[in-house]
Structure 1
């Protein structure tokens, strides 16, 4: 993972997300690219005085963040970009231009932002990004080490695409992976497929010296099943494929993806499958 993009609007939530990104970058030996997009909401968080230059204020704040966090990156780079426009479009555009490997975004957690998140920014970022997107709630702090990762496995052909990055996280952080098998249908053929996928993933992880726990969820209740299990095992991270829906010319998160991102008290690493799978993929 060469570069991590962090969406920064200087709110407490985005600074918390940046601190998490620094922790991940330290493990992966990644550069960090911070991105600020000028908008009504981002200007509100600046709290600048009348007549004060916005660009100078933003640049000064970014320089303070670089001074504070760059020493933790062990020689890796930390820089920033300022853009103007629609937040999710600019964030995705910068991520593509710079070929970043992951986007990190904070979730404010307020009622107003939750509506905003469901309707636009995070929804579009996760659905349209060409890389994984890590969303983190404000209440999550770096005081807890990353030790337990939940990896849902279902009957879909793309469910195993996330195993590679899950393996990397587990190896670098010394984390345990909880393989959560989800029976989404009562059809025996599909249930056997889930069983087979779970066995394959478990074998792959053990081969790569990752500790695993296997749990089969027979009473599937959508995103709620994943969230309940994550809370029960006190997980630090959920890694999931995100289904997308096409509405007009845009991609949106499917209902389960929205629920995971918006309702989870656990950080969620979302990976959207952009390719139509025509054959059975391997790990």
Structure 2
């Protein structure tokens, strides 16, 4: 991993994202590109400054953040940039320019607030082709990633998050917990879940990754994922951006949208496009 893009709006949730990204950069020995998108939002204290002072204020805050983490990561591994435009577009552009393999952003989970809200964070996930880690304000950020939860459902894409997740697991020597969630009584659906779980387990075995498999029946795969992640004290949940939701709570949004909004554990959101890049390495 060469670099990680970190979305920063100088609120608590982006400081949590910063902490996660620094820990990741230390482990994989990569560079961090800190990005502030100058999009007016009066709910953020930085935008209480006069417009002609926002750039100066952002630069001072960036310098303070870099100094804060200087004991963990050499200052020459940090860069920062101030961009103008839509947040999803600008973070995606920066990821391309920096050849980043990951974007890390914080979210406060309130879709009524625009910058890095849960809905805003999901727009970033949908826009970019690189994995996005979303971290809710107040999330528990551990220095190491020891346990990664991988939910498996009936969607074909459900298993496609495994290759990139394996890369992280091998980097941190983490254990993967696969949670096969039987959310339908239809035999064909259940057979698909069993098949996808078996294929994922074979991939983990081939890559010499420690793993555990658990199967459950559930009417709410989001709630079951969150509860199980707490039970195993997971450090990260690996999710596909288009993974399904159960019919009972589909109105709340996709599986990924709900996890971003509700999980107090960092969520790794992987797009189907990432599979091709990962398998080609």
The TM-score, its normalising length taken from structure 2, stands at 0.84
Note if contact 1:135-1:269 (Cα within 8 Å) is conserved in structure 2.
yes
**What is the aligned length?**
271
| Deviation larger for 46-55 or 65-74 | 46-55
Note if contact 1:242-1:270 (Cα within 8 Å) is conserved in structure 2.
yes
Distance across 1 between alignment mates of 2:167 and 2:243: 25
Distance across 2 between alignment mates of 1:77 and 1:42: 31
Residues 241-281 of structure 1 show CA distances to partners (whole Å, capped at 9, x for unaligned) of 11189xxxxxxx9522211110111111011224999xxx9
**The residue matched to 1:210 in structure 2 has which SS?**
coil
Q: Cα offset for 1:11?
A: 1.1
Q: Cα offset for 1:230?
A: 1.2
Taking a change above 3 Å as real, the CA distance of residues 110 and 122 of structure 1, as seen in their structure-2 partners, is: closer
Residues 153-185 of structure 1 show CA distances to partners (whole Å, capped at 9, x for unaligned) of 222222222111211222222221111112233
Note if contact 1:4-1:25 (Cα within 8 Å) is conserved in structure 2.
yes
Aligned counterparts, 1:130-209, within 5 A: 130-143=129-142, 145-209=144-208
Q: Cα offset for 1:111?
A: 7.3
**Structure 2 residue 87 is the aligned partner of structure 1 residue 113:** no
Distance across 1 between alignment mates of 2:106 and 2:39: 17
**Structure 2 residue 5 is the aligned partner of structure 1 residue 8:** no
| Deviation larger for 197-206 or 257-266 | 197-206
Q: Cα offset for 1:236?
A: 1.4
Note if contact 1:38-1:82 (Cα within 8 Å) is conserved in structure 2.
yes
* 2:235 aligned residue: 236
Taking a change above 3 Å as real, the CA distance of residues 50 and 124 of structure 1, as seen in their structure-2 partners, is: closer
Distance across 1 between alignment mates of 2:187 and 2:142: 44
* 2:90 aligned residue: 90
Note if contact 1:178-1:213 (Cα within 8 Å) is conserved in structure 2.
yes
Distance across 2 between alignment mates of 1:35 and 1:205: 34
Distance across 2 between alignment mates of 1:244 and 1:116: 21
**The residue matched to 2:224 in structure 1 has which SS?**
helix
**The residue matched to 2:36 in structure 1 has which SS?**
strand
**Structure 2 residue 121 is the aligned partner of structure 1 residue 122:** yes
| Deviation larger for 143-152 or 80-89 | 143-152
* 1:269 aligned residue: 268
- Which structure 2 residue ranges, 5 or more long, are not aligned? 245-251
Taking a change above 3 Å as real, the CA distance of residues 133 and 198 of structure 1, as seen in their structure-2 partners, is: same
Residues 128-149 of structure 1 show CA distances to partners (whole Å, capped at 9, x for unaligned) of 1110110112212445642221
Residues 102-135 of structure 1 show CA distances to partners (whole Å, capped at 9, x for unaligned) of 110011245743897354x212101111101101
Taking a change above 3 Å as real, the CA distance of residues 42 and 71 of structure 1, as seen in their structure-2 partners, is: farther
Distance across 2 between alignment mates of 1:174 and 1:50: 48
| Deviation larger for 41-50 or 143-152 | 41-50
Note if contact 2:150-2:177 (Cα within 8 Å) is conserved in structure 1.
yes
The TM-score, its normalising length taken from structure 1, stands at 0.83
Q: Cα offset for 1:89?
A: 2.1
Taking a change above 3 Å as real, the CA distance of residues 77 and 43 of structure 1, as seen in their structure-2 partners, is: farther
**The residue matched to 2:268 in structure 1 has which SS?**
strand
RMSD: 3.1
